[in-house]
Amino acid sequence: MAEERLQKIIARAGLASRRKAEEMILEGRVTVNGKVVTELGTKADPERDHIKVDGKLIRSGTELVYILLYKPKGVMTTVSDPQGRPTVIDLLGKKVRQRVYPVGRLDYHSEGLLLLTNDGQLAAHLTAPKSHVEKAYHVKVNGYLTPEQEEKFRSGVPIHGRRTAPAGLRLLKRGANPWYEVTLTEGRTRQIRLMFQHFGRLVEKIKRVRLGFLTLGKLKPGEFRTLTPREVERLRRLLRKKDMSGGAGTRRSRAVRARR
């Protein structure tokens, strides 16, 4: 195998994202053939060289896994929780041998589609701001937005001094507590709750139903499945396409279509 940059090798092994791997190198936590490496441009051959992170040997034959999970409410989107609350890793139990971690997050009170993987490179691309991969949510709110508020919601609202990106919004179900479908291309903390709060509405439930082309399908809360090789390749193609296009045109056109 040809030599590659250390941060890429570490990310592919599922130990961290590429950016986090760079921090590990700068902190002196990585060794190659017994020598501490602190230069980001350093390359190595994972088949030939002994590469260790925090003293643990990286094995080139690490199997990459990609899991689609239906996260229930009341579960933390973390590997562990100091307060002892259940986490998404607990839901996997012993059925997944590899060490995986969640891609992005759903807050404690939200539910729906979540990806977990040990592919640090793909995880970093999916969560990068420039990826613009669409995420769709079904949201129950304590009242309607006016037509004027809907237009402002789609155009973007200020959160903590910074305007959100254009978003899709359509009414799904009428009632005293209506349901909306919200489509985002960014993932700021508590974004949907804060966007509705901006217009004086409180969110009662959030369910993520789609990430790119991936949907929950027949999964029930707490259930999960492994992505097929075809789905993984399609996901990679989607990310490559977003990288080349910058995502801006796609984001705007889809947000406009979601208004109709």
E strands of 104-219, at which residues?
111-117, 135-141, 158-159, 162-163, 168-173, 179-184, 203-211, 214-215
Distance CA 245, CA 241 (A): 6
Of 235, 234, 181, nearest in space to 208 by CA: 181
Interior angle at CA 17, CA 13 and CA 18, nearest 5? 90
How far apart (Å, rounded) are the C-alpha atoms in residues 193 and 78? 20
Judging by DSSP bridges, how do beta strands 4-5 and 43-44 pair with one another?
antiparallel
Joined together, the tokens standing for residue 37 give 């490496």
- 101-103 vs 111-117, strand pairing mode: antiparallel
Contact 126, 231 (CB under 8 A): no
Q: What span, in angstroms and rounded, lies between the C-alpha atoms of 29 and 172?
A: 50
Q: Quote the tokens at residue 259.
A: 């208004």
What residues are annotated to the active site?
A: 107
**Gap between the Cα atoms of 132 and 126, Å rounded:** 8
Q: How far apart are CA 17 and CA 36, in angstroms?
A: 20
Report the C-alpha gap between 116 and 135 in whole angstroms.
16
